[in-house]
Amino acid sequence: MSSIALYPGVVLPTAEEEIWRYSRIEELSLDSYVAGLLENQIDAPADVAGIVTQGAAVSECGVAMPIPVDAFAEINAIHCSGAHSDIITVKTERGKSYASPVVITRTLSVSGVLAAPRLIIDAAENSEVTVVEHFLSADDISSLIAPVVEIRAAQSARVTYIAINELGNKTWKIAHQQSLGERDSTTRLFTVALGGDYARVRTEARLVGSGATTQQVALYFADKTQMHDFRTLQTHIAPRTSSDLLFKGAVQDTAKSVYTGLIRIEHEAHGSQAYQTNRNLTLSHGAWAESVPNLEIETNDVKCSHASTVGPIDDEQRFYLESRGIHPDIAERLVVLGFFNEVLERLPQIDVVSGLRAKVAAKLHAGAK
């Protein structure tokens, strides 16, 4: 059955819409795909095995995104209630801290497939959990993934979520991350994007309880003809809430990246603090990056700042290393790894992320050949 038949009421967006500006959405045709599934592997040690459910009921959906925010979230919701449902739920117990991470590896091994998995993290009051979602496909797989992750952190809960994209260079990924932070909760959303042809993530952190805190952190690196596209929202609804966003990316060859971010401080969110930083390195003359930070403040007594940069490697840093006998290619790699170090150091020190620095270095080395 074709995708047109599966999603008759879904209207794809266009690049004329501001939220899809600079995107490659005009290249996408749902006619190219049929509904399919990913291969899931869940690594959950004994202390966390009991909180993970695969094949959860559709009633579990909507804890943080009750209404689909766009066409791809709508497609995901259709999958949730149909034959190609792929829902994994992580639901913690009140007052319990889980030392081991839940690691979910999602592998796409068939071309011509549209897969739409959903991950639901529902953290009970004063609990703590870390969840990793790792996306993989081979370079010859041409498919589309439209994943959604919903995160609800109850009062004083602490949730860390890490998305790692190592998809092949023919796979598209259009993802959504939606978190909801209640009173005195902490949510941390990390994204590492190295793969995919066109990879887009819309990530929104909503702070609905007084004293809630969130971090949104991303590392992205595109080469060849790749494009990484990020749209972020930091939404402060309750008073005395705090958000901190740091996104760092690099592009080389003819690759592209887009960052558009919005801090929204609503009328009742007095005493809140919000920070947004996006830094981009362009490593080749044909590479291109766009950065558009925004503020929308509806109350006073707040602290907000945003900053963005796009540009090549600092010549002084390069010269410093080369003047000490370091080969220019190696000097460039050292500068880029140093640039990413601020993000890498924020990532949790767990096995699944320990090799990311080497993978970034390998991608730099491949681009230098």
Asked if residue 228 belongs to a domain, the reply is yes
In this prediction the pTM is 0.95
**Is 190 inside any structural domain?**
yes
Q: How many CB atoms are closer than 10 A to CB 67?
A: 8
Residue 318 has pLDDT above 80, yes or no: no
More confident residue, 205 or 313: 205
Q: Look at residue 316 in the predicted model and tell me its pLDDT.
A: 75
* Average pLDDT value over all residues in the chain: 92
- Which of 175, 215, 212 shows the shortest CA–CA distance to 193? 175
Angle, in degrees to the nearest 10, between helices 315-322 and 328-344: 120
Instruction: Tell me which of 291 and 6 has the higher pLDDT.
Output: 291
Q: Please report whether residue 354 resides in a domain.
A: no
Q: For residues 197 and 350, what is the distance between their CA atoms, to the nearest angstrom?
A: 27
171 token code pair: 């796979």
In a domain, 250, yes or no: yes
Does residue 342 register a pLDDT over 60? yes
Q: Element (H or E) spanning 317, and its range? A: helix 315-322
pLDDT confidence bin for 366, thresholds 50/70/90 = confident
Residue 340 lies in a domain: no
Task: Please state, for a pLDDT cut of 90, what percent of the chain lies above it.
Answer: 78
- Kindly report, residue by residue over 12-64, the tens digit of the pLDDT: 999 999 999 999 999 999 988 999 999 999 999 999 999 999 986 677 789 99
Displacement of CA 57 from its chain's centroid (Å): 25
Question: How many domains does one find in the chain?
Answer: 1
Query: What is the token pair recorded at 228?
Result: 């990484």
The mean pLDDT value for 148-172 works out to 97
Q: Quick check: 261 pLDDT over 90?
A: yes
Domain that holds residue 269: 3-312
Give CA–CA dist 134/230, Å, rounded: 18
**Does some domain include residue 326?**
no
pLDDT over threshold 60, residue 172 = yes
The helix (run of H) or strand (run of E) holding residue 105 is strand 102-108
Domain membership of residue 331 (yes or no) is: no
Q: Is 324 contained in some domain? A: no
pLDDT > 50? residue 2 = no
Q: What is the DSSP string of 223-287?
A: -TT-EEEEEEEEEE-STT-EEEEEEEEEE-TT-EEEEEEEEEE-TT-TT-EEEEEEEEEE-STT-
